[in-house]
Amino acid sequence: MSAPTVLLTGFEPFGGDDVNPSWEAARRLDGRTIAGARVTARCLPCIFGESLGALRREVRALRPAAVICCGVAGSRAAITPERVAVNLDDARIPDNAGRQPLDQPVIPRGPAAYFSTLPVKAITAALAAAGFPAEVSHTAGSFVCNHVFYGLMHALARSRRQPQARGGFIHVPFARGANGLLGHDRLAEALAIAVRETLRRRSDRRLRGGLTD
């Protein structure tokens, strides 16, 4: 049997930026074998609808054991595995095709939300143990990242494959200089840890966390 595949995606730059660290990190892992699985990296367009179409095509073609989508969260200083995807497109800025949906569902009549099926607490703990700033996040926002995350979870939940592929989303911060704490090479190491934890664990670790407000 051939090695399982992990599909790892990043996004193209958006909002006037000229790089997106999520793709810079993901592409460094393309073709790498981690915990017995082969990583395939793909770059998604930062466009409502098209991003999800491209992702669905890759999932159908590759039949991955796990899908980890990544994007940049410009206001965050930590790597944040996302716990919840919501059925909402509400764009503060236009996407790369000039689309700016306002209070629309990602999937009409879809459920309000999906949980990540990645071991988000285990990934966060492993990242922290390796010296990365990391936190579980409870919102992926309402722009293209949440759109892709929700659409991914909807597609995986409806897939008839047994066992189902696991999936989720990780936001990364902007790199702080080529040799800084989170340059693109370091970010790639962090994503490799996320892939490894996902493959090692069928379920999440029971670690105290959550938010009080």
**Site track 73-102 with ligand PCA (rule: CB under 6 A), x = hit:** x-----------------------------
First-to-last alpha carbon distance for the chain, in angstroms, is 48
For residue 103, the minimal CB distance to ligand PCA (Å) is: 16
Q: What are the two backbone dihedrals, phi and then psi, of residue 199, each rounded to the nearest 5 degrees? A: -75, -30
55 is written with which tokens?
């992702």
Name the active-site residue from 82, 135, 189, 197. 82
Instruction: Report how far residue 154's alpha carbon sits from residue 148's, in angstroms, rounded to the nearest whole number.
Output: 10
Rounded CA-CA distance 49/63 in Å is 21
Q: Is 82 part of the annotated catalytic residue set? A: yes
Minimum CB distance to ligand PCA smaller for 20 or for 198: 20
Closer CB to ligand PCA, 67 or 144, in the complex: 144
How far is Cα 78 from Cα 198, in angstroms, rounded to an integer? Answer: 19
- For position 46 contacting ligand PCA by CB under 6 A, the verdict is yes
> Among the candidate windows 71-79, 99-107, 115-123, 183-191, which touches ligand PCA by CB under 6 A?
71-79
d(CA 80, CA 193): 13
8-state DSSP, 75? T
Residues 6 or more apart whose CB falls under 8 angstroms from that of 191 comprise: 8, 25, 26, 29, 68, 70, 170, 172
Which positions from 168 through 197 interact with ligand PCA, judged by CB under 6 A?
none
Q: Is 138 a catalytic residue?
A: no
- Respond yes or no: is residue 171 known to be catalytic: yes
If the CB atoms of residues 14 and 114 are measured against ligand PCA, the closer one turns out to be 14
Residue 152 corresponds to which amino acid? L
145 belongs to the binding site for ligand PCA (CB under 6 A): yes
Applying CB under 6 A, the residues found at the interface with ligand PCA are: 11, 14, 20, 22, 46, 71-73, 141, 143-145
Instruction: Give the residue numbers marked as catalytic.
Output: 82, 145, 171
